[in-house]
Amino acid sequence: MHNEAKLNQQFTMNLHQFRFVQEAARHNLNLTEAAKALHTSQPGVSKAIIELEEELGIDIFARHGKRLKRITEPGQHVLKSIELIMREIGNLKRIGEQFSAQDSGTLSIATTHTQARYVLPEPVAKLRAAWPKVNLSLHQGTPDQVARMLIDETAEVGIATESLSNYEELVTLPCYEWQHMLVLPANHALATKERLTLEDIAAEPLVTYHPTFTGRTRIDTAFAHRKLEPRIALEAIDSDVITTYVKLGMGIGIVAEMAVRGMPAQAVDGELVIRPLGHLFGQNVTRVAFKRGAYLRNFVYEFAELLSERLSRDLVARAMSGHVADYEL
């Protein structure tokens, strides 16, 4: 008993200290920014970190004066342990919510603009109908930002085409395939050409996605393999913006298939038409992602099933438990 009391006396560390260390690392060791994120004072963050270091008997951060310069080697190990602890705290909260109020809670979804605008409205509406007490929070960003929001537990579910499978901290599963489409005026020469080539497209000014969005990597790779340099007139993250500038005559557009559903393949002069480009740029796969080790509530599983008929609760559960490798479409 004496030894146990002594041990308890020695270790008085708390979750606030863990959060402060975690936020300092997330904000590139900038304590002012970490304090803003935590809605507290910079001296308070600094003091809590120092107290934790004293309690552990190590330096988590190397310093130059009062500034944090880098994370030490033991600090890296401490951060990994803190990540595990905070993840389990989050899981405990979700378990509590699951069983104390099984039909309510908040589902935070991180995704790109294209997914939010053209893909998610239907599954989100269906989830709201099935779970009327569940609040939904939608966070938009680049695919890398989507991954970071999952890792930082700002969001529970992530949906994007690029990058998600590159993160070991995430479990990802493919949802659906799609191809790029060419958008151009009906009276353009390429609107009626029998079979489009990369050379045809490279010869025209292009309006398309920013390099980190919506399968742009496949577009760049296809041109690079043929040693072609496309003439990019405008880059955007919004498919509606791309089609708007195509209408203005800035160039021909390359957009995601789901953004132009309903647009005709043939039209009268002055309107836009679409041409499939899957034979040039291949098929893209949009993936759903969850943080590895996270506890998923019932409505999260149902949302995954609403995203794709390929995603069953059993498949997602087995992927989260590590018993199945990520399947491919």
Pairing of strands 284-291, 170-178: antiparallel
Mean pLDDT, residues 237-256 taken together: 92
Domain assignments of the chain as residue spans, ordered by start: 2-82, 101-177+285-320, 180-282
Strand partners, 178: 284
Strand partners, 182: 254, 275
Domains 2-82 and 101-177+285-320 share a fold: no
Q: What is the pLDDT of residues 203-215, one digit of tens each?
A: 999 999 988 777 8
**CA 93/CA 90 separation, integer angstroms:** 5
The helix/strand count (H/E) of the chain reads as 14, 12
2-82 is a CATH 1.20.200.10 domain: no
**CA 103/CA 299 separation, integer angstroms:** 8
Q: Which fold has domain 101-177+285-320?
A: D-Maltodextrin-Binding Protein; domain 2 (3.40.190)
180-282 is a CATH 3.90.550.10 domain: no
Distances from the Cα of 230 to the Cα of 206, 226, 275, angstroms: 7, 11, 18
Portion of the chain with pLDDT greater than 70, in percent? 90
Please state, as a whole number, how many other Cβ atoms lie within 10 Å of the Cβ of residue 234. 16
pLDDT band at 94 (very low <50, low <70, confident <90, very high): confident
Least confident of 27-31, 136-140, 221-225, 274-278: 27-31
